[in-house]
Structure 1
Amino acid sequence: MAAEDGKRRGLGRGLAALIGDETPAGAASGPAATISPNTVPIEFLRANPYQPRRDFTEEDLADLTQSVKEKGILQPIVVRPVSGATNAFEIVAGERRWRAAQAAKLDRVPVTVRDLTDAETLEIAIIENVQRADLNAIEEADGYQRLMDEFKYTQADVSKLIGKSRSHVANTLRLLGLPKKVRGFVAAGDLTAGHARAIMGHEDAVALARKIIDEGLSVREAEALGKTGLEEQPSGKAKGGKVTALEKDADTRSLERNITDALGLAVSIEHKGDKGGKLVVTYKTLDQLDEICRRLANGKI
């Protein structure tokens, strides 16, 4: 019943409404009553068990850690008191900032204390990460599924909560039906959600996924591969000996690997001979996009 009440209170209010106006930690009751206003010792905080994000890359944290060292934490970490404990807070939003603060060896961090239900805590964690594009597609799907399993949300509820279409929610949830190995490819950024959906339900999904990754196939090519399978088109040649779009020569694949290594991001080249072609760079976060733009502007690519 508590979860249902939490859902009714939180559903559709958005991140700002759920978090509310900032309240200094010193103004909170209970465990927060002994804390100085606005900041708490960093050891008082603990990770959020409802955090949908599982992948905190060293590269991303290194950049944030440097920023924290130079400018401190500009946006307070949203926390909730741990029931039955003194001077203990569970992070609701801002775990990356907390991790970076630890790496930067800060003693205290700014916090906003909120009295939130488990359902609202998961809502905020999902909304914050989805809005910042910090979740990979599998983490996003897991978060949606937890809302549905643990707090009885429907797909329509989730759609309203995150501000995305119901078809987006449904398509994202479908990714959980992929083999574990393929889900791992998506989580690691080796395979996009579009590529994964193209081979969903195929008995050779893992092998197809490896082929898509190794040959840098586009989503359209992956869809064609999902329809034909490996046995019918093992070398990228269709009946009659015509070469299909699935085949890439060794030089093209080598160039893709070289650019991928240089950028640190997945790169696909679709070469069409004298007609030119296109180069596709896949990024997972806005920070990665900003880095690409910066390097292009500085002539370092």
Structure 2
Amino acid sequence: LDPIVRLALAEDLGRAGDLTTDATIAPNTQLKVVIAARKPGIVAGLDAAAYALKLVDPGVRMVVEKPDGSHLVPGTVIARIEGPARSILIAERTMLNFLGRLSAVATMTRTFADKVAHTNARIVCTRKTTPGHRALEKRAVRCGGGTAHRYGLDDAILIKDNHIAACGGSVATALERAKAYAGHLRMIEIEVDSLDQLREALPLGPHAVLLDNMTTDMLREAVAIAGGKVVLEASGGVNLDTVASIAETGVDFISVGALTHSAPNLDLGMDVV
């Protein structure tokens, strides 16, 4: 959190600080403001927003009314802030940038999660995150009711189509090499795009199989073939119109890159009271 927020403040304040605030606001001016929703959604990013305010001026008082994960309707007060006007105005845009972006991720996640609530499937995010903001965006997914896929390249083995191609096109070869490399605590998932590849992978004992761009009929058959012996994750072609039918096939997880790469900013504002 610390380096991300410091960088955001530095790119806004540059070398000379907030010229407008310095030019127009007397140093002793006090201000009371609220951060409020202008559109419905799920709030996330309050930790980043509060830390930005603290770095600008630790003496400003911020009281959170709706913690991360809370449902918002237009007009919902998320937080109340009181203190030196200069400090609040300096921090305003950085705070709202974090809140708007991360609340967007949480809101989209909740929309997807609600679509599959009648099933046992879970919505998961991917590594398609804003560079440098992965920790914040993956936490926002959790605030919206989703969960995380692997965090990065270093915490699990995910054999994708290009890895298989580089292994001569053999699912078995890729899996055998991965199992020889990994320790007993290291998860191994392999991506397959056909039922034949799934049948080839299962005897080699992957922990999970990613079913890529399969039709719902193929997904149902894949669930039957796996017989509950391996975790199944569906990916590709997932949107709000298709996610429910995908979940109803019986897969365990559905990965949605759009949660972090296409969530539209949630409209929030800071208003003087």
TM-score by length of 1: 0.26
More strand by share: 2
Q: Normalising by structure 2, what TM-score?
A: 0.28
Structure having the larger proportion of residues in helix: 1
